[in-house]
Amino acid sequence: MKFSELGLKPEIQNALADMGYQDLTPIQEKTFSLILSGRDLLARAETGSGKTAACGIPLVQMIDPLSNGIQALILVPTRELALQYVDEIDRISRLTDVVPFAIFGGFSMEIQRAKLRDQVHLLVATPGRLIDFLYHTKSIDLSFVRTLVLDEADEMLKMGFIEDIEWIMSCMIHEHQTLFFAATMPEPINRLIRTYLKDPVRVELNTEQVAPQSLAHHFQYTGRRDRLKVLIEYLKREEISQAIIFCNSRHYGEKLIRSLEGEFHSIGYIHGGLEQSRRTSLFERFRRNEITIMVATDLASRGLDFSHVSHVINYDYPYGQESYTHRTGRTGRMGRPGIAMTFVTDQELGVLKSLLKMNRIDPVWHGNIPNLPSASKSNGRRNGKNCLRKQSQRISRKQFPSSNSEASNAHLSRSL
């Protein structure tokens, strides 16, 4: 189905055409009419399936710009996702009079409060900063909210926001629509749904494969001491548009970035200990393709959409299957091809065996293939053989569109 068939307002249709949006993704096609009809909704789909636009486009369509007050509230787990979300909606609504804005921690409340005094129709917020405003100011009135959206609801649960979310939802006692978007659906989220959603429609796509289907899963069996050498060789050998290299801690990331800076020039490092202004600057530079290789902790693994990323590399094996899904979901988004390379040592063979089975992953091995059938979750035994692996396809830089730096800059100036 095409966006031109949806009967959108001409201003929205023209903005989507300028953004290059033509065909709806499955999650967009399944949810669009449901959201417009006012139904409560639980939408679960693979990472990188277009959930942000699936929510943002109908919200902009429904908002009355002549009516003052916040008409849509979107809760997201991180500052970076809040910026990305409001940037996407800003682009969708740029030819309309709909005004989106984002509030999040690590930035002056006074500046955010000044903007909230003006007309804001759609508010994107992290739970903690929203509660700060509701407790300590009178800048935000939720009584006009028609639609409440929880995006990355499972990640908010993981980050300990469940009580904050329940408190915010309990404050909204008037009639409103509630939308849940998530890649996974743990039981506490199901409890929230049972408590706060009214006869919700469930849309669940690819529940057995939450990673993008255009993503190729590559693995390299190596010793822990050999990983750095293998990584450098891999980065120099591959045709990389952009890559995110994940480490399990800030300490490991600092060691890796020091080692790579002597080998590569266009490289950055993002982690939760950076000042918010520095983190935002790095993300914007990466989005504008000014940085080719980004070393990162799991801060960058959820929700963020970088259209240039051709490779995700797990230098440190991720903690848990959900972490693997969300890290590797930074590439292969919206049907674009992508490669996820994971370095595996003896210690991870057992959990890797479980991951491949549970996610139905067809692995592409580089180098030696380990003896996975004999591996247990607690241990793996090295018994490799020369690789007769499935031929991997190289990804051309031409397959990744250029970023729209003007759109990002326009958002930053408008929202800050």
The last residue of a domain, from among 178, 207, 236: 207
pLDDT confidence of 25, banded at 50, 70, 90? Answer: confident
Residues 281 and 187 in one domain: no
Residues 171 and 136 in one domain: yes
| Full residue range of the structural domain in which residue 358 is found | 215-399
Look at residues 326, 325, 293 and name the one whose alpha carbon lies nearest to residue 309. Answer: 293
- Identify whether 406 is part of a domain: no
Average pLDDT (366-377) is 79
The last residue of a domain, from among 147, 179, 207: 207
State the total domains in the chain.
2
Residues 273 and 150 in one domain: no
Report the pLDDT value the prediction gives residue 81, as an integer from 0 to 100: 85
- Identify whether 141 is part of a domain: yes
Residue 384 pLDDT greater than 60, yes or no: no
Report the pLDDT value the prediction gives residue 206, as an integer from 0 to 100: 57
Q: Which H or E element spans position 405?
A: helix 405-415
Residues 6+ apart with CB under 8 A from 160: none
- Identify whether 53 is part of a domain: yes
pLDDT confidence of 395, banded at 50, 70, 90? Answer: very low
H-assigned helices in 101-249: 109-117, 127-136, 153-158, 162-171, 187-196, 227-237
Residue 380 pLDDT greater than 70, yes or no: no
Residues 338 and 375 in one domain: yes
Residues 225 and 180 in one domain: no
Average pLDDT (250-276) is 89
Instruction: Check residues 72 and 394 and name the one with the higher pLDDT.
Output: 72
Residues 271 and 388 in one domain: yes
Residues 199 and 240 in one domain: no
Cβ-based burial of 19 (10 A; exposed 0-12, middle 13-18, buried ≥19): middle
Q: Which H or E element spans position 75?
A: strand 72-75
Cβ-based burial of 109 (10 A; exposed 0-12, middle 13-18, buried ≥19): middle
Residues 236 and 305 in one domain: yes
Average pLDDT (143-169) is 86
Residues 319 and 199 in one domain: no
Average pLDDT, the chain: 83
Tokens representing 301 are 């693994």
CATH number of 79's domain: 3.40.50.300
Q: Is 62 helix (H, G, I), strand (E, B) or coil?
A: helix
Average pLDDT (199-221) is 76
Report the pLDDT value the prediction gives residue 192, as an integer from 0 to 100: 82
- Identify whether 405 is part of a domain: no
Least confident piece of the model among 155-159, 176-180, 322-326, 341-345: 155-159
Look at residues 218, 237, 215, 220 and name the one whose alpha carbon lies nearest to residue 326. Answer: 215
Instruction: Check residues 264 and 385 and name the one with the higher pLDDT.
Output: 264
- Identify whether 57 is part of a domain: yes
The last residue of a domain, from among 152, 175, 207: 207
pLDDT confidence of 152, banded at 50, 70, 90? Answer: confident
- Identify whether 407 is part of a domain: no
Q: Which H or E element spans position 217?
A: strand 215-221
Report the pLDDT value the prediction gives residue 406, as an integer from 0 to 100: 36
Report the pLDDT value the prediction gives residue 100, as an integer from 0 to 100: 97
Instruction: Check residues 273 and 388 and name the one with the higher pLDDT.
Output: 273
Report the pLDDT value the prediction gives residue 265, as an integer from 0 to 100: 86
Q: What is the pLDDT of residues 267-310, one digit of tens each?
A: 999 887 888 778 878 888 888 889 999 999 887 656 566 667 89
- Identify whether 75 is part of a domain: yes
Residues 38 and 168 in one domain: yes
Residues 289 and 308 in one domain: yes
Cβ-based burial of 91 (10 A; exposed 0-12, middle 13-18, buried ≥19): buried
- Identify whether 74 is part of a domain: yes
Residues 237 and 374 in one domain: yes
The pTM is what?
A: 0.65
